[in-house]
């Protein structure tokens, strides 16, 4: 199976009458930021000269973990490894859906060893992880919406990896090109809110990808720069509750108007590494 483009049926937006929404229990993988630091610079958010409060990073992460459990979700832990300060951003480690798993092949050598830890976890939990020939950075660039995968490329994931992932997961895939280096992964510029609803920041995408998103998701939430620039789209949603950076107040109001429940958390220390809620959360899809 090669990369497949699917045609979405037109939908009529009805923002005045939000759809009745419901939460679905989810299974998440997380990794405590025991060794978190900004020791190198591989994205525009990182500045090795800015100090990181490691204890505060752990405390903020713990609030996120407890938020998930309070909402009724299952959280499993990936053991952190010394020397891998970005391991807290577990979403980048792979994609697991329909009982199939693809492990990441990282673009930067500083993160390469993370894929070993992810592959070992996948194997211990009944999955047979497949490696790609080309760079793929897991759920950072591969987001499941319904029965389709939205796939980012332009900064990290190699466009050629899309075919490999689509073939192994046996799911149709829609490529989306990112053009602003601040939004280096798809999950920094686009959020999946339920099986048919997304939010995104249009300037992060190439013109042809903006047209693609507008055609497929005419009722999508378009987020303002003020929210995008605090990684406000780096969220985790269970279909009703949307856990998002607390600073993204405008986006939170947009979510309320559409019938979602925004749940703000402060991950300001982890933002120093270029990640937030979604980066810290790998969803294991059934």
Q: Which residues are designated catalytic?
A: 185, 279
CB 169 within 8 A of CB 95: yes
- The residues, ordered by sequence, that sit 6+ positions from 113 with a Cβ below 8 Å of its Cβ are 81, 83, 84
> What's the CA gap between 162 and 231, in Å, rounded?
24
> In the β-sheet with 173-177, what is the strand arrangement from edge to edge?
142-145, 148-153, 173-177
Give the strand pairing for 236-237 and 241-245.
antiparallel
Write out the H or E segment, with its range, that includes residue 173: strand 173-177
Q: How far is CA 73 from CA 13, 156, 236, 242, 281, in A?
A: 30, 30, 12, 13, 12
String of DSSP letters for 203-224: GGB-HHHHHHHHHH-TTPEEPP
């Amino acid at each position: 199976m090669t990369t497949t483009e699917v045609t979405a049926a037109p939908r009529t937006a009805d923002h005045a009458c939000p759809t009745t929404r419901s939460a679905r229990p989810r299974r998440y993988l997380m990794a405590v930021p025991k060794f978190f630091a900004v020791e190198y610079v591989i994205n525009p958010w990182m500045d090795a000269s800015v100090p990181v409060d490691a204890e505060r990073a752990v405390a903020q992460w713990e609030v996120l973990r407890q938020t998930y459990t309070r909402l009724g979700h299952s959280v499993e832990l990936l053991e952190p490894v010394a020397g891998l300060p970005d391991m807290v951003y577990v979403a980048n480690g792979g994609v697991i859906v329909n009982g199939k798993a693809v492990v990441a092949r990282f673009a930067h050598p500083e993160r390469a060893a993370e894929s070993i830890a992810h592959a070992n976890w996948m194997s211990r939990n009944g999955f047979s992880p497949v490696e790609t020939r080309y760079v793929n950075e897991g759920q950072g660039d591969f987001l499941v919406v319904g029965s389709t995968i939205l796939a980012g490329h332009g900064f990290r994931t190699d466009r050629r990896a899309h075919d490999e992932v689509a073939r192994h997961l046996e799911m149709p895939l829609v490529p989306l090109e990112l053009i602003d280096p601040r939004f280096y992964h798809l999950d920094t510029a686009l959020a999946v809110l339920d099986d048919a609803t997304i939010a995104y920041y249009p300037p992060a995408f190439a013109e042809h990808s903006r047209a693609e998103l507008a055609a497929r998701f005419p009722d999508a939430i378009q987020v303002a720069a003020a929210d995008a620039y605090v990684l406000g789209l780096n969220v985790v949603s269970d279909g009703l509750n949307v856990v998002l950076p607390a600073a993204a107040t405008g986006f939170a109001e947009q979510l309320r108007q559409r019938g979602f429940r925004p749940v703000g958390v402060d991950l300001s220390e982890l933002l120093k590494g270029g990640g937030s809620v979604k980066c810290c959360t790998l969803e294991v899809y059934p």
